[in-house]
Amino acid sequence: MSRFINTNLVVAAQLTTPAENPLLTDDSRLMDVWFGGGVVRKQMFKKVTRAEQEEMVEALKGRGFVQSGNLLLDPRAVLFAEMENQFLGGVVTVGYGENGKPVELKVGGKAFNELCSSLNQVT
């Protein structure tokens, strides 16, 4: 199977590896991807290969994405960010879904601080 993911439209990606899901193998991964645009849509990808996942991570980090555990997030997509506390991190809003509700993602404290630093530099 061949798959193309336009990383220029990705606003966030959640990666799953064998460490988080024992049903996965060394070469199989899961990946959920949120795409931006008029509305934010989540696409669940099943059975991506390790190479596909690693290529995606490198492409997103090359675009300046911030990583919080297995979540990668584009600082330019953040509309609103609120820290819950410095240890737990906070919640960021990356857009609105088709239902009009905010699409919120939780990030850890270190990543939240990195994200805020990136947000201050975004023009």
Q: Which CATH number fits domain 7-121: 3.30.720, 2.60.120, 3.40.50, 2.40.50?
A: 2.40.50
Are the CB atoms for 116 and 73 separated by under 8 Å?
Answer: no
The pLDDT-based confidence of 21 (bands split at 50, 70, 90) is confident
Supply the pTM of this predicted model: 0.84
Task: Give the residue extent of every domain in the chain.
Answer: 7-121
The tens digit of pLDDT for each residue in 46-61 reads 778 899 889 999 999 9
The tens digit of pLDDT for each residue in 52-94 reads 889 999 999 999 999 988 999 998 888 888 887 777 788 999 9
